Amino acid sequence: MRQSLARLCALLACLLLPLALVSAWASERVIDTDAYVAAVTPLADDPAVREAARELLLDRAADVLSLGDLSDEEVLVARPVVARAVAAVVRGAEFRRVWVDANRVAHHEAVRLTQSLQTTGLVAPGVSVAVLLLALVAGRRGPRVV
């Protein structure tokens, strides 16, 4: 009987160990904003990321230009100027700091939203919640720290 109980405990430990490891990893890498930011900070130097940021900023700038009081001719004149300014910002040294700040805010908001959905019962335990960060960033009007 004692040997069977020991085997059962060993089996339970083997089954629960992967869950404990995943939980510890999630706490360290997924929920911890500082760890997340440290992991994504090097991406600010990736040319593909900078190009995607440039395109996103140009799209947002085009939206703003089309909503303004500018004539079509003025918009045509402004677009190349805006494109050069956006390219300079994305190539500049300040981009890395903005990247870090934006990821810090987006991650904090994503974790808060996910925890809120689970706390209120809108999402059942064990159900994944996906947050499209580009959609969140594209929809923002300016920085907001909570």
Q: Provide the 10 A C-beta neighbour count for residue 122.
A: 10
102: nearest Cα among 72, 76, 140:
140
pLDDT in tens, 98-116: 899 989 998 888 888 877 7
If you average pLDDT over each of 68-72, 118-122, 132-136, which comes out highest?
Answer: 68-72
Q: Of residues 90 and 132, which shows the higher confidence score?
A: 90
pLDDT in tens, 4-57: 888 888 888 888 888 777 777 766 667 888 988 998 999 999 999 999 999 988
Confidence check: pLDDT of 78 > 70: yes
pTM to 2 decimals? 0.58
- What are the domain boundaries of the chain? 1-31, 32-139
pLDDT in tens, 81-92: 889 998 998 998
d(CA 108, CA 129): 15
The predicted pLDDT at position 67 comes to 74
The predicted pLDDT at position 38 comes to 92
DSSP characters over 35-62: HHHHHHGGGGG-HHHHHHHHHHHHHHHH
108: nearest Cα among 33, 9, 21:
33
The predicted pLDDT at position 64 comes to 82
Share the mean pLDDT of the chain.
78
Q: Can you state the angle between helices 72-91 and 94-119, rounded to 10 degrees?
A: 90
